[in-house]
Chain A
Amino acid sequence: GQNIDQPTEMTATEGAIVQINCTYQTSGFNGLFWYQQHAGEAPTFLSYNVLDGLEEKGRFSSFLSRSKGYSYLLLKELQMKDSASYLCASIYNQGGKLIFGQGTELSVKP
C-alpha cells in the first residue's frame, strides 16, 4: 500500500505560523499534493511538489524531501478562515493513483 501519515489535529493562534507534516511511502512516488477542505465542502488544490525543495505561494508554502519521504505545508499569518482540514496526497506511478492521508484538522483561535 501507500501509507500516508499526518497529524490528526492541530491548533494555532491567529497571525501565527503553523507547519503540518506528512510522511509517505516512497516506492513508486511521483509527486505530492496538498489540498484544503472546509467542513461540508469538496477538497480544493493548494500546492504540488515533485522536486525537492520549497514551493511558495502567498501565505502558503510546501516543502518536499523525496529521499526522506517527507513533506510539510507551512501556513503564515494565520487567519480564522484557515480553519479547515488539510489533506496530504501522493500520486504513484502505477497508473497515477492519487492516495490521500487522513487529513489534519487545523483550528485557528483568536
Chain B
Amino acid sequence: EAGVAQSPRYKIIEKRQSVAFWCNPISGHATLYWYQQILGQGPKLLIQFQNNGVVDDSQLPKDRFSAERLKGVDSTLKIQPAKLEDSAVYLCASSLVGEGAAEAFFGQGTRLTVV
C-alpha cells in the first residue's frame, strides 16, 4: 500500500513569509498527526485530527500556525508569518484508529529553513 505522502520535501523562506505543507495519509487511516521536529530533538505534536475533527491542538502556536483536514483525508499545515525558530522538519503521520494501539506511519517530512 502507498505510504504517507508529504510535499514539498524542502522549503526555504524568509522570515515573515508564509508557507504551507501538504499531507496525504494512508488510505483509510482516520487519525492524522502533524509533528514539528527540531534538529536533535524528538517530534513535538502540533495537532491531531480524527477524521476531519481536531482531537488535540494544545501545542499549536495558533497565532501563526493553522491546520485543516478537509473531508477527513488530506491535510494542510500553514505558517503565517514564519519566524526563524520555525526552522524544523514537519512530519505528518497517520494511523488507523485514535485510541488504543495503532502504529503511526510517518511521511518523509518537509524540511523548512527560515532565513
Q: Which A residues have a C-beta under 8 Å from some C-beta of B? A: 30-31, 33, 41-45, 48, 50, 87, 91, 93-103
Q: Cβ of A45: which chain B residues have Cβ within 8 Å of it?
A: 103-105
B56 to chain A, nearest CB (A): 5
* Interface residue from A33, A42, A99 paired with B107 (Cβ < 8 Å): A42
A-B contact pairs, 8 of them (CB 8 A): A33-B103, A33-B104, A93-B99, A96-B55, A96-B99, A98-B93, A102-B42, A103-B41
Beyond A43-B106, A95-B50, A95-B55, whether A100 also contacts B43 by CB under 8 A is yes
Complex contacts, B43 vs chain A, CB 8 Å:
43, 87, 100
User: B interface vs A, CB < 8 Å?
Assistant: 31, 33, 35, 41-45, 48, 50, 55-56, 91, 93, 95, 97-109
Q: Which residues of B contact A95 (CB under 8 A)?
A: 48, 50, 55-56, 98-99
Q: Smallest distance from the beta carbon of B35 to chain A beta carbons, Å?
A: 8
Contact present for A102 and B41 (CB under 8 Å): yes
- Let me know if B45 and A96 touch, CB within 8 A: no
A25 to B89, CA, bound (A): 26
| Nearest CB of chain A from residue B107's CB, rounded to whole Å | 6
Assess the B109–A42 pair: CB atoms within 8 A: yes
Chain B residue nearest to A39 (CB atoms) is: B39
Tell me whether A96 and B31 are in contact (CB under 8 A).
Answer: yes
